[in-house]
Amino acid sequence: MTKRDDYKKTHIKDRKLAPESLMMSYGYDPNLSEGALKCPIFQTSTFVFESAEEGKAFFEVAYGLREKEPTEELGMIYSRLNNPDLEILEDRLSLWDEAEACSVFESGMAAISTTMFELLKPGQAVIHSAPVYGGTDYFMSFVLPKFGIETYGFNAPGDRDAIEKIIRENDLKDKLAMVYLETPANPTNAIVDIEMCSAVAKTYSTEEKPVYTVVDNTFMGPLWQNPLKHGADLNIYSATKFIGGHSDVIAGATTGSADLIKRIKTLRTFMGNMGGPWSGWLLLRSLETLKLRMTSQMKNARYVADFLEEHPQVEKVYYPGHLEEKDPEYKVFRKQCSAPGSMISFDIIGGEKAAFKFLNSLRLFKLAVSLGSTESLAEHPATMTHADVAPEDQRAYGFSDKMIRLSIGVENPQDLMADLAQAFEQI
């Protein structure tokens, strides 16, 4: 299959092509699919070997009985192990993060849980930024402890002292195996310093017990923040959000070094939670417009955030694009993000009652959780996405029942502002 390698070219002469230029072709050889311009959906559970010898060779490598020869191309075996839609998607996703490898899952939670199970052992501990995504919070609070793994949170944005204090007070020096973070934090947009977290992880790393830095990069999305460039070992996405981008598929991905991804994929084979061909195909389609969509969403969000900042019924706007030089998070934001993304939260004057009236009055914005899609969404974190966070914890994280969270889509920004303006008038 040397021909397929032609489709793995990332350069024209010396020029390195940008990911958006490669999303329509990279990793797919039309000659292997009757000349089809687009990668078909390989809706098959198993693959035919050309000979028994070939089947034997594929299995030897897949099961780690021997290393792959440098020139050897591995064929397909069975869709729980590999499938063209999944492999091409993984190749293309790796390009955005400039990662060596990627593993795609049937959900963001599958990516998170499988990555954690592979890297953690009983008796070890995780320190994480807080708040984290509700599903992740549940997994760390109730599932990991069943396997003897302890978890400790520090409030975002946090700093080195806060993490060191947790390590000291709980005697975690020999137990710490992972620093896990979400930045910007959901729903406050607090910016956690990835480089700082990675430095702490390295301090407590030993040969026998590496401490991994893992970042859930879902909230900012692939274009505007690359945790791998700031010391993270692994980068996780709910591909349901910006990557899928059309609110029509649930999927997840982890990107990082070839060594770590190989381990994670091995566990994935036995958990059986790999992405299927249909999800893979949908995401390949989504990736072609990833930059267009995210750029349009990011630009729209700036209009909306500026509009909210000026509005008399708004108490406070939480938006990284409004950080000022005097804010402690400003420097970290400038260091690790190339744009402010398209998630905005704000406090409305009048608390939950005003918030509900506002949400019920929206017409173009849809009242729904999730984020990163083409359509704009609005929700109430205190009673929806973060309903199981106790009110005192909500306050500690910096939000309450007066907060509304917006995910900005690709609509006309003037229309979005007209919708928000009329909803404010209803209160």
Ligand X SMILES: *Cc1c(COP(=O)(O)O)cnc(C)c1O
Q: Is 386 in the site for ligand X (CB under 6 A)?
A: no
Residue 108 lies near ligand X (rule: CB under 6 A): yes
- Cα–Cα distances (Å) from 67 to 6, 49, 60, 199, in that order, read 23, 20, 8, 33
Q: Residue 6's CB: how many other CB atoms inside 10 A?
A: 10
Among 241, 268, 293, 380, binds ligand X (CB under 6 A): 241
Lookup: tokens for 121: 């052992």
189 lies in the site for ligand X, by CB under 6 A: no
Binding of ligand X at residue 224 (CB under 6 A)?
no
- Rounded-to-integer distance, Cα 264 and Cα 109, Å: 14
* Residue 343 token pair: 């998630």
| Binding of residue 216 to ligand X (CB under 6 A) | yes
Stretch that binds ligand X, among 22-30, 160-168, 233-241, 390-398 (CB under 6 A): 233-241
Return the range that interacts with ligand X (CB under 6 A); candidates 94-102, 129-137, 318-326, 357-365. 129-137
384 in contact with ligand X (CB under 6 A): no
- If the CB atoms of residues 217 and 300 are measured against ligand X, the closer one turns out to be 217
Which residue is associated with the tokens 């609070």? 141
- Which lies closer to ligand X via its Cβ, residue 253 or residue 339? 253
CA angle 20, 8, 227 (to 5 degrees): 55
Cβ closest to ligand X, residue 136 vs residue 336: 136
Residue 241 or 265 having the CB closest to ligand X: 241
CB 374 within 8 A of CB 246: yes
Phi, psi of 288 (to 5 degrees): -65, -30
* Residue 240 is a binding residue for ligand X (CB under 6 A): yes
CA pair distance 404, 401, nearest whole angstrom? 8
If binding is defined by CB under 6 A, does position 135 make contact with ligand X?
yes
Amino acid at 4: R
Known catalytic residues are 80, 133, 216, 241
* Part in contact with ligand X (CB under 6 A); list of ranges 9-17, 131-139, 169-177, 321-329: 131-139
Q: Measured between alpha carbons, how far is 98 from 214 in angstroms, rounded to an integer?
A: 16
- For 309, the token pair is 């900042």
- Residues 224/339, Cβ–Cβ less than 8 Å: yes
The footprint of ligand X on residues 401-420 (CB under 6 A) is none
Segment contacting ligand X by CB under 6 A, of 1-9, 116-124, 213-221, 269-277: 213-221
Who contacts 327 (Cβ-Cβ below 8 Å, separation ≥6)?
A: none
Given the structure tokens 């909230």, which residue do they identify? 219
Smallest separation, CB 155 to ligand X (Å): 17
Whole-number minimum distance, CB 40 to ligand X, in Å? 25
Interface positions, 156-185, toward ligand X (CB under 6 A): 182
CB of residue 178 to ligand X, shortest distance in Å: 16
CB nearer to ligand X: give 81 or 109: 109
Contacts of 125 by beta carbon, 8 Å cutoff, 6+ apart: 149, 150, 151, 152, 170, 172, 175, 176, 177
Which stretch in 47-55, 132-140, 206-214, 416-424 sits in contact with ligand X by CB under 6 A?
132-140
State the nearest-atom distance from the C-beta of 216 to ligand X, in Å. Answer: 5
Structure tokens at 291: 């930059």
Give me the long-range contacts of 36-40 (CB less than 8 A, separation at least 24): 39/84, 39/85, 39/88, 39/281, 39/284, 40/281
Q: Using CB atoms, what's the residue nearest to ligand X?
A: 108
Of the residues 157, 227, 231, 252, which one makes contact with ligand X according to CB under 6 A: 252
User: Least distance to ligand X from the beta carbon of 343, Å?
Assistant: 10
Which of 109, 163 has the CB closer to ligand X?
Answer: 109
Find the binder of ligand X among 58, 219, 346, 356 (CB under 6 A). 219
Strand partners, 182: 216
Output the smallest distance, CB 158 to ligand X, in A: 17
Binding residue for ligand X, selected from 22, 104, 109, 308, defined by CB under 6 A: 109
Nearer to ligand X, 63 or 138 (CB): 138
Q: Which of 231, 224, 218 is nearest to 109 (CA)?
A: 218
Q: How many beta carbons lie within 10 A of that of residue 134, not counting itself? A: 16
Q: Does 218 bind ligand X (CB under 6 A)?
A: yes
With CB under 6 A as the contact rule, which of the stretches 22-30, 128-136, 198-206, 346-354 interacts with ligand X? 128-136
Residue 219 or 319 with smaller CB distance to ligand X? 219
CA angle 61, 63, 67 (to 5 degrees): 35
Report whether 343 contacts 371 (CB < 8 A).
yes
Q: Which residues bind ligand X (CB under 6 A)?
A: 107-109, 133, 135-136, 182, 186, 216, 218-219, 238, 240-241, 250, 252
